[in-house]
A and B are shown apart, each in its own frame.
With several copies, the nearest count.
Chain A
């Protein structure tokens, strides 16, 4: 029996984040309804939940993205809230609206706020009006290469060409001069047309050596908001995050404070509620630019939990129940350093090809200040339909050196057999001198660094 207005929640997700949500709900006394696709029938979230409904076959479009089945199951179970996790329907404002029209609380911001923030141009405009620097870029889609040339004449090189329909690192190209600009704009338009059916591309200033910094926000529905510090997510491979940490090893205190304040301004400007992340790019001179708001719980939220002691998913339930945040900014004390490594079912030796299959042997890392968030268990199957993240190894240390040593130790004791994973790749990355010196950022050549070669 929960003290909150939410008594029963539908977990509209799978894998480690579904388990994470169930854990938070159980600690609050909230009953949990797992939804699952057919291949996930024997998964840990289904086992751990109080009840479970099958919502479709393996492919996401027919199960975890099947709004009708999800809403039906929520109504049948008598749940009063839905937690979408990340990915799938997490940032789908239409889904949020349907939940609300059925009297089910969507755990996240208001669907109108979601809608506004999903329009990147509108979001940038709003933040600019509130005094934040935003990434310089064209106002919207460029019609032709001449328009691109005109913009570059004013703002200069290098520039990034992005497809409006892209995202998650897909459909991005960089140009350093006019020749590259013209050929890449044409190429990007053709590529976007082929990949997404929408040829629209736009330009943004590109900052070599920039770091990817995001600030965790919690905002209640009474108008209070706190920030829980920044996360540095600069270690990426092809725009996919590999490891994240908090605090950033690269920001000085003044910049860190300024970014955190800017994030609070952004959250308030957007009318944001619940847990969310404000993303910034920080260039090599320490100037920072608003990028976007991620209106969801994020994969890397555990590093923030480790340094603040705040249970972000529990806070989501409290906020969604209409309660005020049980603490304010001065109660948030940051201590030590935390790092997360994403362990994925993929084969680094075969260009990170997905590697589904059955887990034959499994020993998680453990011991002090090591947290492994994963829905794997020995003998379980990793189905081919979903995101390849199968485990997150998160460590805490009194300082970054201790955290790095602990992560090396933890990855070293992780045994996972039956499928290929990026575990060894991550071990080499974390143990590299470049990582220890925090010299890896978004456009570093991580592959050559880890493999000692370019490919």
Chain B
């Protein structure tokens, strides 16, 4: 298995853990061990009414791929990325491009937020629903 395949698998497992609220996942196969651990705390979205002092995870939102295609961080190879970690985005601002069937689709943020993490490498394929960015809403 190549590293890039592994990354896609791990991202898939991470998504399953989020969907089913799983705290730990361990996998062992021939020559491969994967351990994942999530912070599932009182602020879990399944628990209602925790209120004011909820930690910052509550403010996080994930931008996912709305289509299958190739993920690009910048409008062209020699240009600056649309956004970078630590930067701020505004509603309607383009955060990346997904190329599908030779068409460049600009993907916009729906919220105002700070970029916490970029989850996909430039020029990588993404499937529908794959997490691309973690934002902290502002």
Contacts and interface: CB of A to CB of B under 8 A. Distances in A.
Interface of A: 38, 41, 53-57, 63, 68-73, 75-76, 102
B70 A68 contact: no
B127 A73 contact: yes
B96 to A, nearest CB: 15
Interface in B34-76: 67-70
B70 A54 contact: no
A69 B129 CA distance: 12
B84 to A, nearest CB: 25
Nearest to A101: B101
A76 B126 CA distance: 9
Contacts of B68: 53-55, 68-70, 72-73, 76
A71 B128 contact: no
B100 A72 contact: yes
- Nearest 4 Cβ contacts at the A-B interface: A76-B125, A72-B68, A72-B100, A69-B68
Interface residues of B, number: 12
25 contacts: A41-B16, A53-B127, A53-B128, A54-B127, A54-B128, A54-B129, A55-B68, A55-B127, A57-B128, A63-B128, A68-B68, A68-B100, A69-B67, A69-B100, A71-B100, A71-B101, A72-B67, A72-B68, A72-B100, A72-B101, A76-B68, A76-B69, A76-B70, A76-B125, A102-B101
Contacts, number: 42
B138 to A, nearest CB: 28
Nearest to A63: B128
Contacts of B67: 68-69, 72
A38 B100 contact: no
A42 to B, nearest CB: 8
Contacts of B125: 76
Contacts of B129: 38, 54, 57
Interface of B: 16, 67-70, 100-101, 125, 127-130
A270 B131 CA distance: 47
B15 to A, nearest CB: 9
Given A72-B101, A76-B125, 13 more contacts: A38-B128, A38-B129, A53-B68, A54-B127, A54-B128, A54-B130, A55-B128, A56-B128, A63-B128, A69-B68, A69-B128, A73-B68, A73-B127
A204 B31 CA distance: 48
Nearest to B15: A41
Contacts of A54: 68, 127-130
Contacts of B127: 53-55, 73
Contacts of A102: 101
Contacts of B130: 54
Nearest to B16: A41
A41 B127 CA distance: 12
Contacts of B70: 76
A403 B15 CA distance: 39
Contacts of B101: 68, 71-72, 75, 102
Contacts of A41: 16
Nearest to A102: B101
A73 B129 CA distance: 13
A445 B128 CA distance: 45
Nearest to A53: B127
A72 B125 CA distance: 9
Contacts of B69: 72, 76
A14 B125 CA distance: 22
Most buried by B among A38, A55, A72: A72
Nearest to B65: A54
Nearest to A70: B68
B134 to A, nearest CB: 19
Contacts of A55: 68, 127-128
A342 B82 CA distance: 52
Nearest to B9: A51
Contacts of A53: 68, 127-128
A72 B99 CA distance: 8
Nearest to B100: A72
Nearest to B124: A76
A51 to B, nearest CB: 8
A71 B103 CA distance: 12
A41 B101 CA distance: 24
A243 B129 CA distance: 39
Contacts of A70: 68
Contacts of A63: 128
A16 B125 CA distance: 28
A75 B101 CA distance: 8
A83 B21 CA distance: 35
Contacts of A72: 67-69, 100-101
A218 to B, nearest CB: 32
